[in-house]
Amino acid sequence: MEHLLLCTSSSLLLLFLFSSVPITSQFPFGSSKQAYHHSNVTCIESERYALLLFKHELKDESNRLSSWIGEACCSWEGVGCHKITGSILKLDLRNTVPLYSDEDYHCTNCLGGQLTPSLVNLTNLRYLDLSSNSFSGIQVPAFLGLLKNLRYLNLSSAGFDGEIPHHLGNLSHLRYLDLGDSGFSLSTKDLGWVVGLSSLEGLVLSMVNLTTAQDGLRSINMLPSLTTLELDSCDLFIHPHLSQVNFTSLAFLDLGENNFNNYTVPPWLRNLTGLHDLRLGQNNLSDPIHALFDQKTSLVHLDLSSNRFDASTLKSLCKARDLTYLDLSDNNVQGSIPSEIGQLVNLTYLDLSSNDLQGSIPSEIGQLPKLTNLVLAFNKLNGTIPTNLWQLTKLQALDVGYNSLTGVLSEDHFAKLRELKSLRLTGNSLALNVSSSWVPPFQLHEIRMGFIIVGPRFPAWLRTQKEVEELDMRNASISDAIPSWFRVLCRNITSVDLSSNSLTGNPLEFKQHRPSRYRSRRIFLSSNKFDGSLKSLPLDISDLDLSHNFLTGHIPQLEVGQTVVPGMRSLLLNDNRFTGTIPKNLCKWEYLYILDLSNNLLSGRVPLCLGNLRDLRILNLANNSLSSQIPSSLGNLRRLSKLHLNGNKLVGKLPTSMQHLRYLQALDLGDNGLKDIIPAWIGERLSNLRFLRFQSNNFHGPISHTLCQLSFLRVLNLAHNNLSGFIPHCFNNITAMVSGLDGDYGIDPQESLQDIKGGREVEYYALNLLLVNSVSLSANNLVGEIPDEIMELVQLQVLNLSQNHLTGRIPKKIGNLKQIETLDLSMNELFGAIPESLSDLYSLNSLNLSYNKLSGPIPSGNQLQTLTDPSIYEGNSGLCGKPLPNNCSEHKLPTKNGPTDEDEGHSESDWSWFYAGIGPGFAAGLLGVLGILLFKKSWRYAYFKFIESACDKIWVKTTRLRRNFR
């Protein structure tokens, strides 16, 4: 609604600006094609031939130029001639059909191809419009600069690319030039050529790349007749200090999404006193702005959205009493809405959303009689909605969503809102209390009542709303069955969200809606109490979410002869009770983006054809009973970012084709029967991995050192396998666990991950995943000492190395892990004292050091004092102190000359000296014996004779035993 109003405002302003600008007496801007189609006017032969050459080079799939035959070129589609001379004045080939009118995003009505220089022969051409076509990246032809009589040139949204030719600066009679909406593919390094457009009144360069045209605004400043200037999304350097502003006649100025170098509003804007429309959105601007609008008595449209303006700006804007449109959304406006807002009596559009506004909605807003759009969403407003707000009879859109508003809304509140089309109340503590026979006075297009109380009965008044396109009543306390009349109404709604209620009965029987009205629908019915089987999957739906219900039976197959419309983008059937196999028909939805069938009772193999879903980003088949091997075809899913196959019965090795999943961020293969080594290519090729979970499989061999190359890794879970060898010393190369930085990571709201925390399985959902840093290597056969490098992973929250064969001491730097919440080193062979630095772990809430060979006093102080369960230290006979019952004072204290406890227990240093002595001694003895045998011949004979005799006796005895056994 807001976008529509914005576009309408812009169009009306342009019409106002140019309707009174005569180009010739026969050629007004807004004239209809009938003004130029003169069947009795003779067509100039050379110009007709030029048009035919022009047509020959064009691609015209829809045959728009089918009328371009015969001699009377003045009657051809889009051609306008002088009514006396027959000279061609106008060529209007603008595409008026939506750009992408089929499923393949191909513009069927667009003209394309090449532009031939034959157009230069149209010497009197004054109007040329090729906008909204598709010329597929060709450059703007330089020969257009030879059309010296052009007054109007529009090449916007036409697919042109490359550098804008400076020859366009030769069009000294040009009054309107539009090269906008190129998608940042058009560019110019220097705007000096615009100085030659001395007659220019309208210049549109929206989305043209002006990054290197740093002094471009100075060139534009040389155009004194300019009334319309659109430079939004150009990355243009906005110079704050223009010595003199020449374009003081500007009525429309759009500088949105650019680079204001000092982040304050340029002072030269104050000189543009004739502005009707000013757009400065998305520039990160800040105050001061107060004096800017003191002289702008003509300003009617002001867009300051997505900047850093504060409450003082809002208060100062209340003086601009002619304003009809004010957008101050997404700023830094704090405090309450000033009561002076009621002075803007001409206001039709007010958007203060996404700020930090508090307090109640002032009743003065209810005194704005012309208000059609009121948007106050995403603030901290509280209290009830003022009663006089319901007196705004012209209101078409009301959005107060995501605040802290309270109260009960009744039929009386809506009695006068006959024009209302959009109602957004989501995310407040409101309740709707109307009778079952209520007939609203409006026909809504958009209804957003999520998280407010609408139930418990299904709202009967929806039956009267015949024009609804979007319906959001999620978590609306509805405990009822969906009535049959809604199933009919639902066919015309593009987006339905009734999730997180207590809806019962069978799911909707989906039927295709009227194809002439909408292309696809989005239906969200998750977290309800639907049961029964799903009879069919709708073919006209782009997003379907039936997760977290009680649906049974098989996932529907396509009916015989049924063809698939490949528009499905997301299919979520997870957390139900579906049985059977995964139907191969799902592979026909080739544009599928998300497929989640997890937590069902599915069996059989993972279909090979899933590898055909080349657009798939998320594949979740976890917690079913799928068997056999992981198909190698999954390696074809080159865009896949999350793959969850955990909790199945998969066996075999990892297919090497998975190394091609370069964008993979989460890989969970835990709780299967996979038997393999950890391939080196995981660390070498899957460089974007954040979450890697292989828990409870049969992986064996050493932990690959290439895992240290996964610098973004945040969760590494290799627990409950048969891994052996040492823990790699290079773990400190995993920078995400050291610094916490992991680059750009997108979280899907449905995403989850299972991991071990505090000795139990924990499931992390959505945004909580961004807070997890965990290493779990428990229940393997790892040996050696705990590497000191692990103590550099200061972002770790979970470290579980239990149930291995680790030896040595607990590293003294354990206190570096300041974020650690769960630490489990139990069931190893660690010895020595517990480091005192353990008491520095202020976040520690789960500790297990049991069943090692630790000795000495247990550290005390800080967070350790709260861990009072003695079982976390049991199995260490040498430990003493709280919470264990044995007091350290009972242990023998060291004396000055006597032995210490470590002497009696043989400290690590004692054993080191022992081994240091016994090794050389054994070597010396062995060399002595070998030396004697080498140089003493009689001893050598006697030794080998003894060996030979012993071997003979052993042979005889074993032979007798074999005979007796037989």
CB-count exposure of residue 143 (10 Å: 0-12, 13-18, 19+): middle
Give the pLDDT confidence of 472-485 residue by residue, as tens digits.
999 999 999 999 88
Closest CA to 331 of 351, 361, 350, 347: 351
Would the pTM of this model clear 0.85, i.e. be above it? no
pLDDT grade, residue 908 (50/70/90)? very low
- Residue-wise pLDDT for 147-190, tens only, equals 999 999 999 999 999 999 999 999 999 999 999 998 778 999 98
Output the pLDDT for position 517: 40
Q: What is the DSSP string of 420-457?
A: --EEE--SSEEEE---TT---SS--SEEE-TTSB--SS
Q: Which of 241-245, 352-356, 737-741 is the least confident region?
A: 241-245
Q: How confident is the model at residue 32 (pLDDT cuts 50, 70, 90)?
A: very low
Is the predicted pLDDT of residue 105 greater than 80, yes or no?
no
- What does the pLDDT read at residue 447? 97
Torsion sign (Cα): 148, 150, 154, 155 = negative
Distance CA 377, CA 403 (A): 7
Per-residue pLDDT at 959: 57
The share of the chain scoring above pLDDT 90, in percent, equals 64
Of the candidates 146, 144, 205, 154, the one whose C-alpha atom is nearest the C-alpha of residue 175 is 154
Q: Which residues contact 956 (CB under 8 A, 6 or more apart)?
A: none
What is the rounded average pLDDT of the residues 545-566? 79
Average pLDDT of the chain to the nearest whole number: 85
Residues in the chain, total: 966
247-279, pLDDT tens digit by residue?
888 999 999 998 776 677 877 888 888 889 999
Cβ(414)–Cβ(385) below 8 Å = no
CA dihedral 915, 916, 917, 922 (to 10 degrees): 70
What does the pLDDT read at residue 13? Answer: 40
Please give the Cα distance from 29 to 19 (Å, whole number). 6
Q: Are strands 752-757 and 259-260 parallel, antiparallel or unpaired?
A: unpaired
Residue 665, pLDDT above cutoff 60: yes
> Among 127-131, 561-565, 704-708, which is the least confidently predicted range?
561-565
At 926-955, the pLDDT tens digits run 666 666 656 665 566 566 666 766 666 675
Question: Which residues are within 8 A (CB) of 411 and not within 5 positions of it... i.e. 6 or more apart?
Answer: 434, 435, 438
Average pLDDT over residues 10-25: 38
β 325-327/349-351 pair status: parallel
Is the pLDDT at 538 greater than 60, yes or no? yes
Per DSSP, the residues of 290-333 read GGGGSS-TT--EEE--SSB--HHHHHHHTT-TT-SEEE--SS--
Q: For residues 743-762, give the mean pLDDT.
A: 54
Range of weakest confidence among 187-201, 233-247, 750-764, 896-910: 896-910
The position carrying tokens 């028909």 is 585
- For the chain, the farthest-separated pair of C-alpha atoms sits apart, in whole angstroms, at 137
Structure tokens at 740: 């916490």
What pLDDT, in 10s, does the model give residues 329-354? 999 999 999 999 999 999 999 999 99
Mean predicted confidence (pLDDT) in 585-593: 89
User: Helix, strand or coil for residue 766?
Assistant: helix
First to last CA, the chain: 99
In the structure, what pLDDT confidence band is assigned to residue 895 with cuts at 50, 70 and 90? Answer: very low
Compute the Cα dihedral for 449, 575, 559, 540 and give only its sign: positive
Assess contact for 202 and 13: CB atoms under 8 A.
Answer: no
What's the pLDDT at 927?
67
Q: Phi/psi zone of residue 132: left (φ > 0), alpha (ψ -120 to 50 degrees), beta?
A: left
User: Which pLDDT value is given to residue 115?
Assistant: 94
Burial (CB count within 10 angstroms: exposed 0-12, middle 13-18, buried 19+), residue 680: middle
So where are the chain's domains?
320-449
Find out whether 219 and 195 touch, Cβ atoms under 8 Å: yes
* Of residues 305, 313, 374, the one with CA closest to residue 340: 313
Cβ burial 191-211 (10 Å sphere, 16+ → b, else e): bbbbebbeebbbbbbbbbbbe
Which pLDDT does position 104 carry in this prediction? 47
Give the burial class of 297: count Cβ atoms within 10 A of its Cβ; 0-12 exposed, 13-18 middle, 19 or more buried. exposed
CB 844 within 8 A of CB 823: yes
Asked if residue 45 has pLDDT above 90, the reply is yes
What number does CATH give the domain 320-449?
Answer: 3.80.10.10
Per the CB < 8 A criterion, the answer to whether 913 and 919 are in contact is no
Contact 526, 546 (CB under 8 A): yes
Token digits for 657? Answer: 């084709």
CB-count burial class (<10 Å; 0-12, 13-18, 19+) for 698: middle
Average pLDDT over residues 779-803: 96
Q: What is the spatial distance between Cα 505 and Cα 490, in angstroms, rounded to a whole number?
A: 17
